Amino acid sequence: MGSILIDFVFPGNLKSISPQALILTNMKKQISLVLSSGGARGVAHIGVIEELEKQGFEIKSIAGTSMGALVGGIYATGKLDVYKEWMCSLDKMDVFNLIDFTFSRNGIIKGDKILREMKKMIPDRNIEDLPVPFVAVATDISNDKELVFNRGSLYYAIRASISIPTVFTPLIKDGYYIVDGGVINPIPINRAERFDGDILVVVDVNSRIPNITNQIPEDNNQEEKKYSKYINSVINKLDYFIPQNDSDKIGYFNLLNKTTGLMLNQISLMTLEKYQPDILINISKDSFGTYDFYKSEKLIEEGRRATIEAIKKFKTVA
């Protein structure tokens, strides 16, 4: 697939100082941060950012895809605390009420209602005016191209980047269909703006590592299963629009989501192998569901835990 850059600022020179040396000195630990896609698990990016700053890291730039673009973009406005407070206040019914269902052939959720609520708290800004350099990634499926946003409306870039195929309806601009950046670049390391002596920190919330999050009580677990069952039933309603044989058990959209997940995992592995971040923060894809937005406090805590673990490993290497 090709790639189109929207006034993209290319990285600076290669690092002249090793990140390990920075850790062992009194110099500021400046980082370039890359945040992956991952649905509700992307809320964990909030905990990652908070812990990085708590431990003295200074975020100099952010690149994000899908939920990583949303959290990264809001951080770049300086209003992450406002967004966090709102997310942590949401219960299951609040999440349902924020979903503007539209059972069309292109997707089941418009996504406009969520962004309208966010704009009430955090006004839109042009990306080039943000205090922290920010890049969001989306996919132009009409032309098989990657779109990289580092100027223009922040919320437009976010909406483009979170357009998960079959879930959110795509953005349509000049006849072109724009969908989730995770389709082509789930961990946009190559789009991060780099600085001399920076530390490359990458967060992957879709990691295929064992899930070690604490188990919740059985009663609550049953409640979570009911919630997940309802969400999945809504998504699977689209299967009725797709001709199937009686022998088809998995469902068209479940099959699509599973195969897409495997594909994105392979892309992520190749990306991490090619660019090899200084600090890799992994969160298991099995830790939380794609639609568990009402679990924000637990998601944020998981991001914090994974960050502490990754930094310990980094210091050990140093």
Residues designated as active site: 66, 180
Separation between Cα atoms, residue 66 and residue 160, nearest integer Å? 8
φ/ψ region of 64 (left if φ > 0, alpha if ψ in -120 to 50, else beta) reads: beta
State how far the alpha carbon of 195 is from the alpha carbons of 19, 103, 256, in Å: 12, 45, 39
Taking alpha carbons only, the member of 101, 137, 130 closest to residue 233 is: 101
State how far the alpha carbon of 60 is from the alpha carbons of 31, 131, 283, in Å: 6, 9, 23
Task: Check if the beta carbon of residue 142 is closer than 8 Å to that of residue 25.
Answer: no
CA 155, chain centre distance (Å): 15
* Rounded CA Rg of the chain: 19
The number of beta carbons lying within 10 Å of the beta carbon of residue 101 is 13
Separation between Cα atoms, residue 253 and residue 251, nearest integer Å? 6
State how far the alpha carbon of 47 is from the alpha carbons of 15, 80, 115, in Å: 27, 11, 21
- Three-state secondary-structure class, residue 316: helix
Give, for 138, the enclosing helix (H) or strand (E). Answer: strand 134-140
